[in-house]
Chain A
Amino acid sequence: QKEVEQDPGPLSVPEGAIVSLNCTYSNSAFQYFMWYRQYSRKGPELLMYTYSSGNKEDGRFTAQVDKSSKYISLFIRDSQPSDSATYLCALGREGNTPLVFGKGTRLSVIA
């Protein structure tokens, strides 16, 4: 079983839709949960960073972590064409072990 699983999509939604992006993981040692957004021909940039189970909200974005189910989600409300990008989940552990990235979900928001 892979450490992190993420549906690659592509996912296409109309403008204004609520988008749900998800990752599942197998290692309960993961403590840090991140979502990165990557626009075409650009490097990934951090969107959300959470340390524990529960929800974290930032504007139209909500990150949700369920450690018991080993499942993390990113919700985008009122999606905009500018949200069209690839979204990567990233999970980290204590110590100096590198982040483990999901393969990314490609999202297109159609005006």
Chain B
Amino acid sequence: EAQVTQNPRYLITVTGKKLTVTCSQNMNHEYMSWYRQDPGLGLRQIYYSMNVEVTDKGDVPEGYKVSRKEKRNFPLILESPSPNQTSLYFCASSFRGASGELFFGEGSRLTVL
């Protein structure tokens, strides 16, 4: 089954404790992206990757890092989480770049205390 898998789905952490949200897709897509979704603000792109070792900032990259060492994986790293990073995070992938159909993961709800 074609899917984008994110882990963890739910996480409560404390300010400053580094965490990683993993994302893996099994569709051999080159393009992958991270979004956060907040009430009243909608979906906002954090980072995206056009291919292995190629990443770029989206609209709200501050406080986040990413890496793309393998085609299937695109982890999101919060080096020192802060309460304003409490949000619902989605990983997505596409076979046709930024403007193609995006396949989303189920989401990771993060709470930073």
Residues of A contacting B: mostly = loop
User: Interface size of A by Cβ–Cβ distance < 8 Å?
Assistant: 26
Q: Which of B12-20, B65-73, B77-85, B98-106 faces chain A? A: B98-106
Q: A98 near B104 (CB under 8 angstroms)?
A: no
Residue in A42, A43, A88 with the greatest tally of chain B CB atoms within 10 Å = A43
Q: A43 near B106 (CB under 8 angstroms)?
A: yes
Residue interface bits B50-92, CB-to-A below 8 A is 1, else 0 = 1000000011000000000000000000000000000000101
Known interface pairs A43-B105, A93-B99. Does A98 touch B42 (Cβ–Cβ under 8 Å)?
no
Q: A94 near B99 (CB under 8 angstroms)?
A: yes
- Give CA–CA (A93, B97) in the complex, Å: 11
Q: Among A44, A95, A103, which residue has its beta carbon within 8 angstroms of that of B90?
A: A44
Chain B interface (Cβ < 8 Å from any Cβ of A): 4, 33, 40-43, 45, 48, 50, 58-59, 90, 92, 97-99, 101-107
